[in-house]
Amino acid sequence: MSAEGALDLTQANDGGVYFIDAADFDALAAAAEEGQLYVCRADLAGCHDKVELLRRLAVALNMPSGFGQNWDALLDSLRDLGWLHGAGHALLLDHANDLRQAAAKDFDTLLGILHESASFAMGQNRPFFAFLSLPEHPMVLPSHRAS
């Protein structure tokens, strides 16, 4: 992260998984678009299991036909994302707490996949951010650069 402690969404090394308040989604989406990242938003309200999670992510990420609907396929897809054009990728997952409360194991597996995907993207010098709305986790918003 930058010296001010705010995320720079154009920097691959700032990539990762972050817990945020849903009220910050619009500001994050704007900052990501300003940084030329592809922004993907998925609403997980009422999402209570792996099957529903994978279905919602497949739709939100416009997954290619043949997406395997399993954890390995999700990891492979998040490592690639070549069909989504942009300098990097920002996933905004709203109401993540619904999944966490209903299916803690699936939530933990998702976090592991997102962390692994971000780490993989860092190795390719490609920004990858996953923002999950969890109300008890505020964070420092990206700083806006003067153009």
Q: Are 85 and 38 in contact (CB under 8 A)?
A: yes
- In this model, does residue 145 exceed pLDDT 90? no
- Whether this model's pTM surpasses 0.95: no
Q: Is the dihedral of CA 35, 122, 13, 111 positive or negative?
A: positive
Angle (CA) 111-115-139 rounded to 5° is 80
- In this model, does residue 98 exceed pLDDT 50? yes
Report how many domains make up the chain: 1
> What confidence category does residue 64 fall into, taking pLDDT thresholds of 50, 70 and 90?
confident
Axis crossing angle, helix 104-123 with helix 71-80, rounded to the nearest 10: 30
Q: What is the pLDDT of residues 4-37, one digit of tens each?
A: 446 789 899 999 999 998 888 899 999 999 999 9
* 96, part of any domain: yes
* 115, part of any domain: yes
* 142, part of any domain: no
- In this model, does residue 134 exceed pLDDT 90? no
Domain with 20, as residue range(s), is: 15-133
Give percent above pLDDT 70 in the chain: 88
* 1, part of any domain: no
Q: Is the dihedral of CA 131, 17, 97, 77 positive or negative?
A: positive
CATH value at residue 66: 3.30.370.10
